[in-house]
Copies of this chain bind each other. A is one copy, B any other.
């Protein structure tokens, strides 16, 4: 069911690579994603380049506070400044998201399997419930 070999590879990779580039990038990517404002900024940028003042607009936050979030996203390589020298809009760089998705994908088989087990369990419970209810139905 689950690709143990693949997960074990990740385990070994993670352990031997406290300093490895991918492991460090995953640290900063996941840390950057652990905040709702930063996730909202990324979602906004997925539709195209946006200036900092436009990015700040929907939030009840000062521009310095937004700028701090932008710096975290920038350091994680998730956004960069687009080429328009005057507006200096920000744009989404999706490569770290691809790496994070790949890391999580190794667990897909695991959680799909556990949901299937849950589904199976629910099915069994429903069937058992029906059996129990049958006499009552006959009495109607």
Bound complex: CA A59 to CA B108 (Å) = 26
How many copies of this chain sit in the oligomeric assembly? 2
Bound complex: CA A106 to CA B43 (Å) = 9
In the assembled complex, the CB of A106 is this many whole angstroms from the nearest CB of chain B, namely: 8
| Cβ-defined partner of A4 (8 Å) among B47, B92, B106 | B47
Residues of A whose CB lies within 8 Å of any CB of B are 2, 4, 7-8, 10-11, 14-15, 17-18, 23, 26-31, 33-36, 39-40, 42-44, 46-47, 58-59, 92, 94-95, 97-98, 100-101, 103-108, 110-111, 114-115
Name 15 A/B residue pairs within 8 A (Cβ), A-sorted.
A4-B47, A11-B40, A11-B43, A15-B40, A15-B58, A26-B34, A26-B36, A27-B34, A27-B36, A30-B30, A31-B31, A43-B106, A97-B104, A97-B110, A98-B111
